[in-house]
Structure 1
Amino acid sequence: MSQRWTRLATLLAGAALVATVAAGKAETASAADYEFKLHHFLGPTSPAHAKMLEPWAQRVEEASGGRVEIELYPSMSLGGKPPELIRQVRDGVVDIVWTVNGYTAGLFPRSEVFELPFVHVNDTAATNLAMDEMFDEYLAEEYEGLKVLFLHVHAGQAIHMVDEPVRQASDLEGKKIRIPTRTGAWVLEALGANPVGMPVPELPQALSKKVVDGALIPWEIIPALKLQDLTGYQIEGPDKARLGTTTFQVSMNLDKWNSLPADIQAVFEQESGRDWLVEVGNLWRDNDDGGIAIATKAGNEHIVLTEEQWDGFRAALEPVVKRWEDEVASKDIDGAAMVERARHLIQKNASAN
């Protein structure tokens, strides 16, 4: 065979191979019976994406026997801004979202009970389980148009400061501090600080330009946002105690959910149940420990307040819980009963998870 014909045969064989691979990919791509787009606001290297959302999606896919495919879209890559995620999933623009409840202030007042100071203390898994146990009776009605797959919290609001340490509650007076939720804003107001609301992706620029003096946010986000380079001090209470937390949801469009057969619904619920909530809680705690280690390695000062110093924060923040109870009373919500129930369930689950 001439070299010309040999080259032609090789090219034809290569083309056939490419066509076979392409056909295989097409077959694989269309193998799933149910496809979902999951949209969220953090980047693909963030712990929330890489260690929580991706593994969860993979578990659902595997448990479905390949009938489900969930494609993740981080960094608002499908368009819009973080506060628009709830509308996107309710309107069916996307199938599933992971978002901060507080980005849409006032929409989830019942769930705010878990964000209040000294309701969530430092046990993420226990708080996740308490939210799950309270959902049907206390929380469900505010998630209209959504199928909540799971709720969770982060490790809690710790204090990050650019160039001034905080050792007393009064040290925050007059400071501009970032916070994503209105309950967090109330915490800051009670401490004499000036709350500045913004989604977390905007925080690095706000810190670098001194738009804010610091932020209330957990440690876990430190490496993703390079906060070790933008702040000098990380402050928390004794035994990793925090100034409240932030509630998150992973929710599906309700019409999409109702269109699914019972066995596929069961897969989602099975992979989002109690064991998963404990795992998520432990994951966020581990990520938090990793984040503070990066900050201290970079030379930042990690300040753990004494019990006496923390008592000053407790005294200043007692009115915040009452403020929330009065606020939700206008919506016929018994806030005091919810606070009592949430604290009881968190304490109960602290030893059970």
Structure 2
Amino acid sequence: MNTTTRHAPGRLQRLMMAGAVALAGGLSSAPVLAETTLRITHFLPSVASVQRGVLAPWCDDLEERSDHEIRCQIYPSMQLGGIPSQLPDMVRNGVVDIVWTALGYSAGRFPRSEALELPFMLPAGGVAGSRIAWEFTQGPASEDFSDYHVLAVHSDGGAVFHSRPRAIRGIEDMEGLKLRAPTRMASRLIDSLGASAVSMPPAQITDTLAKGVIDGASAGWEVVPPTKLAEVTHNHTESAPHQATPTVTVLAFLMNKESYDQLPEKAREALDELSGEVLSRRFGQAWDDAIEPVRTRLQNDPEQTVIALDDNTYEAMRDASRSVTEAWMASNDGGIDRAALVRSLESIAKSHTLPPE
């Protein structure tokens, strides 16, 4: 990967190339070619499906659509420094041009969008959840993103409980387990189900599990290959296709506002055409494409057990976690009408998941 140092980190870079040819009677300059290089960073390895399945091909499309006015440099695994929770600050402050980040990793930064992570709120699946997440964050939760130019918002497809000491078949199996939680809402969900939540980013899951510090993890299917999670857990519990997922990790592709505003008009038009709802769905589809092979591989592995929640367990978990949603709605932090946000989200989710009458 090309990681050539750029001048003035945090501002849009333009690499100018000029040539001149001597002509009889004077000097004439050749046309100047400008290239905008967007620095993109994220927290997963380069082998993860986010880079291979979305970021790299999106950058190729952007370069072609803009007639090569835009190119990208991608820095995976936080190669430019910092920790995942700092990604929103990095892009807002212009350290990079674009970040791909999990909103819940920066607790409290996107308070309205937390509604998406509440227990059993969204359907499982990348495309299904991403359509809802995009509409909600561009409408009722749009104030969360006033400091950014939002390129996409999407779902990770929904939480799966990966456990080692025992399979989670009923709510009683959660009792006493220490489970990794990706977000604050996931922590509250896990605690409400009788387990103990331990917050940590994906990169720490496998080593922490191997050392016995935790007993399992809440993580989407897509995280399993890059973190080698199946090497240290052998039981994987998910919601059934007709059920809502226990929680989601909401991910966003955020751009520095100044970087966006400084783009040449044609380049900005190309970026707009490839972003927004169409890019959110593209992320969601990439997640769906990544989920099924992982699930199928583990289902066919005699050393692995994949479990879908039965309806009784599903209802028991929903009942046990209802207090999480009620407490979130009752909070007055920031003067936000959280109950109204939940009602709006439920309406949006219903419009996307129910067939027309």
Q: Normalised by the shorter chain, which TM-score bucket?
A: 0.7 to 0.9
Give 3-state SS (helix, strand or coil) of 1:239's partner. coil
Alignment-derived partner of residue 286 in structure 2: 283
Alignment-derived partner of residue 145 in structure 1: 147
| In structure 2, distance between residues paired with 1:114 and 1:263 | 34
* Structure 2: runs of 5 or more not aligned: 1-15, 18-31
Change in CA separation of 1:268 and 1:350 when aligned onto 2, cut-off 3 Å = farther
Q: Does residue 325 of the first structure (1) align with residue 329 of the second (2)? A: yes
Contact map agreement 1:126 1:347 (CA 8 A) in 2: no
Give 3-state SS (helix, strand or coil) of 2:270's partner. helix
1:281 is matched by which residue type in structure 2? Answer: G
Spell out the pairing of 1:122-141 with structure 2 (5 A cutoff): 122-141=124-143
TM-score (norm 2): 0.85
Alignment-derived partner of residue 343 in structure 1: 346
Q: Name which of structure 1's ranges 218-227 and 291-300 shifts more when overlaid on structure 2.
A: 291-300
Q: Deviations over 1:68-115 (max 9, x none)?
A: 011111111112221221121111111111011111101011111111
Q: CA deviation at 1:351?
A: 6.6
Alignment-derived partner of residue 173 in structure 1: 175
Alignment-derived partner of residue 306 in structure 1: 310
Match of 2:254 among 246, 251, 276: 251
Q: CA deviation at 1:31?
A: 5.7
Give 3-state SS (helix, strand or coil) of 1:138's partner. coil
* Structure 1: runs of 5 or more not aligned: 1-25
1:271 is matched by which residue type in structure 2? Answer: L
Give the alignment's Cα RMSD to 1 decimal: 2.1
Q: CA deviation at 1:240?
A: 6.8
Give 3-state SS (helix, strand or coil) of 2:271's partner. helix
Change in CA separation of 1:162 and 1:101 when aligned onto 2, cut-off 3 Å = same
Q: CA deviation at 1:284?
A: 0.9
Q: How many residues align?
A: 325
Greater percentage in helix:
1
TM-score (norm 1): 0.86
Contact map agreement 1:179 1:216 (CA 8 A) in 2: yes
Contact map agreement 2:43 2:77 (CA 8 A) in 1: yes
Alignment-derived partner of residue 203 in structure 2: 201
| In structure 1, distance between residues paired with 2:178 and 2:34 | 49
Contact map agreement 1:39 1:98 (CA 8 A) in 2: yes
| In structure 1, distance between residues paired with 2:224 and 2:134 | 28
Q: Deviations over 1:162-212 (max 9, x none)?
A: 121111112112211101110001101111211111111111101111111
Q: Does residue 296 of the first structure (1) align with residue 303 of the second (2)? A: no
1:311 is matched by which residue type in structure 2? Answer: E
Q: Name which of structure 1's ranges 258-267 and 246-255 shifts more when overlaid on structure 2.
A: 258-267
| In structure 2, distance between residues paired with 1:147 and 1:268 | 11
Give 3-state SS (helix, strand or coil) of 1:36's partner. strand
| In structure 2, distance between residues paired with 1:79 and 1:122 | 33
Spell out the pairing of 1:8-87 with structure 2 (5 A cutoff): 33-87=35-89
2:235 is matched by which residue type in structure 1? Answer: Y
Contact map agreement 1:220 1:290 (CA 8 A) in 2: no
Q: CA deviation at 1:143?
A: 2.2
Alignment-derived partner of residue 188 in structure 1: 190
The higher radius of gyration belongs to 1
Give 3-state SS (helix, strand or coil) of 1:152's partner. strand
Contact map agreement 1:114 1:127 (CA 8 A) in 2: no
| In structure 2, distance between residues paired with 1:31 and 1:41 | 33
1:53 is matched by which residue type in structure 2? Answer: L
Q: Percent identity?
A: 31
Q: CA deviation at 1:229?
A: 1.1
Q: CA deviation at 1:127?
A: 2.7
| In structure 2, distance between residues paired with 1:52 and 1:325 | 34
Contact map agreement 1:126 1:346 (CA 8 A) in 2: no
Match of 2:320 among 316, 321, 337: 316
| In structure 1, distance between residues paired with 2:306 and 2:128 | 25
| In structure 2, distance between residues paired with 1:70 and 1:286 | 24
